[in-house]
């Protein structure tokens, strides 16, 4: 049985594999878009170059920085508008040229500011659940297989409150109502039957 540390390590490897997979998909999408729209590649290269040029200017001629920034932003805006229109011409958006994440909150890292993300907590719970074999048990021991006839109707002489080993029928009705009200009656609930 895997320890919690092993489970965490396994999940972090899964996040790593997921990010690698998404990065590969992005490269493929970009190559396909560049093939269809060569102008988009030119624009992307120009936008990268503009950023580098501005950084150099800021370092070498700080006095001219303000004018350079205004000019760069105007040029960036113009190119981004052209890029967006080109992408839209083939039914895409700029988001299609960005990484996609299963969890936008933590960007598939499992953490936000060094705090475990809810998706990481859920993965840990799922793995612990799988490991416990409860999932397999619930496939068999659920309300679909529940049969109240298996329980004795006779009242226990010792306890004299409820029939010995008999589930409270009121409770059973409540459970069945609960089951029916959830997910169209497909929800299962583990219950023990008389041996
Ligand atoms: Zn997350």
Residue 95 Cα, ligand 1 centroid: separation in angstroms? 19
* Residue 30 sits in the same domain as residue 89: yes
18 CA distance to ligand 1 middle (Å): 12
Question: Does any domain span residue 116?
Answer: no
pLDDT higher at 151 or 9: 9
111-112 and 115-116 beta bridge pairing: antiparallel
Residue 15 falls inside a structural domain: no
Which residue, 72, 97, 122, sits at the end of a domain?
A: 97
Judgement on whether residues 39 and 93 belong to the same structural domain of the protein: yes
The model carries a pTM of 0.61
Range in 15-24, 57-66, 76-85 with the lowest mean pLDDT? 57-66
In a domain? residue 156: yes
pLDDT in tens, 78-123: 999 999 999 999 999 999 999 999 999 999 999 999 999 999 999 9
The answer to whether residue 17 sits within a structural domain is no
Q: What is the 31 CA–ligand 1 centroid distance (Å)?
A: 28
What is the Cα–Cα distance from 102 to 120, expressed in whole angstroms? 12
**Domain coverage including residue 195:** 138-195
Is residue 102 one of the residues assigned to a domain? no
Residue 166 lies in a domain: yes
What is the rounded distance in angstroms from the CA atom of residue 72 to the CA atom of residue 119?
39
pLDDT tens string 24-40: 999 999 999 999 999 99
Question: For residue 123, how far is its CA from the centre of ligand 1 (angstroms)?
Answer: 10
Residue 19 lies in a domain: no
Contacts of residues 16-21 at CB distance under 8 Å and 24 or more positions apart, as own/partner, are 18/102, 18/108, 19/108, 19/109
- Does the pLDDT of residue 7 top 80, yes or no? yes
Residues 33 and 93 reside in one and the same domain:
yes
Whether 57 has a pLDDT exceeding 70, the answer reads: yes
Residue 160 domain-assigned (yes or no): yes
Instruction: State in Å: Cα 180 to ligand 1 middle.
Output: 32
Domain count, the chain: 2
């Amino acid at each position: 049985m895997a320890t919690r540390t092993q489970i965490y390590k396994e999940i972090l490897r899964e996040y790593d594999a997921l990010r690698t997979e998404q990065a590969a998909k992005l490269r493929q999408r970009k190559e396909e878009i560049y093939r269809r729209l060569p102008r988009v590649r030119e624009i992307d290269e120009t936008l990268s170059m503009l950023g580098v040029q501005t950084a150099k200017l800021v370092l070498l001629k700080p006095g001219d920085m303000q004018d350079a920034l205004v000019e760069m932003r105007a040029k960036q805006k113009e190119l981004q508008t052209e890029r967006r229109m080109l992408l839209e011409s083939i039914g895409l958006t700029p988001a299609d040229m960005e990484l996609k994440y299963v969890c936008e909150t933590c960007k598939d890292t499992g953490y936000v500011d060094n705090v475990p993300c809810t998706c990481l907590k859920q993965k840990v719970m799922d793995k612990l659940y799988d490991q416990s074999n409860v999932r397999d048990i619930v496939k068999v021991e659920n309300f679909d297989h529940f049969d109240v006839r298996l329980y004795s109707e006779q009242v226990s002489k010792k306890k004299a409150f409820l029939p010995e080993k008999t589930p409270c029928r009121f409770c059973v009705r409540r459970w069945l109502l609960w089951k029916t009200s959830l997910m169209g009656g497909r929800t299962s609930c583990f219950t023990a039957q008389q041996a």
